[in-house]
Amino acid sequence: MPGLFKTSNPALNANTFENRFTIAGEAMTLQGTVNKTGLLLFCAVATVAWTWWLARTQPEALGLCLWGGLIGGLVFAIVTIFKKEWAPFTAPIYALCEGLALGGISGVLNQVYPGIAFQALGLTGAVTAVMLLLHTSGVIRATPKFTVGVIAATGGIFLLYMIDLVMGFFGHHVSLLRGESQSAYLS
Give the relative orientation of helices 116-137 and 30-57 as an angle to the nearest 10 degrees.
160
Q: Enumerate residues 6+ apart whose C-beta is below 8 A from 31.
A: 136
Same structural domain, 128 and 185: no
pLDDT in tens, 98-117: 999 999 988 888 888 888 88
In a domain, 19, yes or no: yes
Nearest in space to 159 (alpha carbons), one of 151, 170, 149: 151
Domain with 151, as residue range(s), is: 143-187
Nearest in space to 31 (alpha carbons), one of 127, 131, 135, 141: 135
Phi/psi for 146 (5° steps) reads -60, -45
The CA-atom distances, in angstroms, between 138 and each of 27, 28, 106, 148, 165 are: 19, 17, 33, 19, 38
**Least confident range of 7-11, 28-32, 151-155:** 7-11
pLDDT in tens, 118-175: 888 788 888 888 888 888 888 888 788 888 998 999 999 999 889 988 988 888 877 7
With vertex at residue 51, the alpha carbon angle to CA 161 and CA 92, rounded to the nearest 5 degrees, is 85
pTM for this entry: 0.64
In a domain, 136, yes or no: yes
* pLDDT score for 147: 86
Same structural domain, 148 and 113: no
In a domain, 130, yes or no: yes
Same structural domain, 35 and 72: yes
Q: How many domains does the chain have?
A: 2
Length of the chain: 187
Same structural domain, 95 and 18: yes
Per DSSP, the residues of 11-31 read: GGSHHHHHS--EETTEEP-HH
What is d(CA 67, CA 104) in angstroms, rounded to the nearest whole number? 8
Which value, in Å, is the radius of gyration of the alpha carbons in the chain?
20
Same structural domain, 76 and 160: no
pLDDT in tens, 32-63: 888 888 899 899 989 999 998 888 888 888 88
In a domain, 128, yes or no: yes
Same structural domain, 29 and 101: yes
In a domain, 3, yes or no: no
Same structural domain, 147 and 184: yes
In a domain, 116, yes or no: yes
Same structural domain, 21 and 96: yes
Same structural domain, 29 and 108: yes
Same structural domain, 30 and 70: yes
Same structural domain, 114 and 22: yes
Same structural domain, 183 and 132: no
